[in-house]
Chain A
């Protein structure tokens, strides 16, 4: 059975940044399996755009900051801040340009899972490299992703593995490995953290020599460790394998993906089934996603319009659907921050809490202000507002060509709170739909 318009709309809203009538109608020629497969087949491993050159080279000078005056240091830091903003702006550029929105949604999901922040890491080039890594494995092997992330320089700096030494183990990474990256609370003990931390001693970054991973065996504790019931002269890779063998790991990740793509109330039975599949597939992400997107709960009408759009989804989705011209994507990064999602700078290692936490009195007002300004440029015959972030000189044709019912179905997942006015002014109707609370939902 081919997808209905509503189903096709839902699939695009949940796996990407939403779709316009043309994109939605394309999917209505396919059945669920074919539509899901085509989305998954489109997932890429590389970005289609690249960040500015200065971001790629934003690394520490070999001689360090020693010998710089206070003013020089200040100027040096300002340059890094500018590069970080350029990096954030670049990701928005990729969100807008990508032929596979799901690739970016997954990369963003992993960014919010394996968090690292510019504030702590301080080197934009390292964060960019981490972003490349997350995208490469976004729908690949979680096992591979985990092994690479553990040796990723931005992660090593973010969770202090850099200062994890034989005589002074730092438990930061080991703790988050168990608690946030693989198992969740309740499946390990403080001793497991202490012992695991020893296994990662000596995993460092050659910060002034290219910024790559180095194994410093003089700082590595090669003694016997006891982790999650296993005993041996474990190194870091051994600990990662032990964690992956733990039964809680697959269910923990499946639950998190469920919350991202299906609903905020995971169905324990279905999660268990999917987690089994994930584990037996050897932690391959794509088969798990396929099963997740094919689960009856994903398609259930009562699960539509029950998740809050993240700031990135709101901003990128609005620009894409109205084909708004954008010049400076750094402005979008600043707007994302105002709405509570500062890319490459999550609030802490747990990432953005998301869900209804996206909406506070301040962020809701800021969301509406952004949307209002975006649409203001549409008022025919009016000059785009000065300082407008996104101005729309010419809206897409479907807004006036399609029926009002279709326009509403495209823009909102569920019927608006305020009934549409009986007006022939299509732009007024669009404006009201975008300002309706349900526009915040996906």
Chain B
């Protein structure tokens, strides 16, 4: 009986506030848009019992989903989110790997400090970290001032309000998620393996490719998913650093909901976004399980 109480409290909390809300999104995504409050007409009427369900089923037109395929905006936004998330993930890997590698080669008594320096930004406000780049990247910003002072450029570059600024923002804010899993993979690496490879005639570069990289693989995969998945649905970074041309699906959903007040379309956008993300989420969990088994 006690066990039932222990299980049921968190269980029902999550059912009521996680699963049910999502079913409501699904239901509204299949409703018709209307000029009313709330601004949709439900097509499923369960008060009529089974008759209500069959009527809904026969009248189901997936109108909002067809709409998503007809208007260019939506599929362009999905594609552009995919592109931005992919490029940012690759950039984060290129920036993050050398940091994780350097940390794993650092003297033992430096490591806790280095670790804290990586985690500290994660505890500071995400919004503030994105905002910090606004003053750096603008036309009269500090980066342009610096580059012009050292004579590298004559004219200020336009970086703020472009996709470049969005890449920088994503790499900057999600870098700890990339560094930490790679570091924990590299830290476990037994250095005698590298010595053995060198004794057997590998150059340091070849030893890196043949020994270090394969052993860091799962850390790299985990880090990449941890950057890619949240970047896909990102809203704050494109709306603060991106321009009017920066299309990302999180921003489209937000505007559909708050500006156009089209709840059914916003819900349909959410459903499709989740369908796209299910693939990387499942792959990520597989990778985690593999790692857990390897750790045992």
Whether A associates with B in a native complex is no
Chain A residues with a Cβ under 8 A of chain B: none
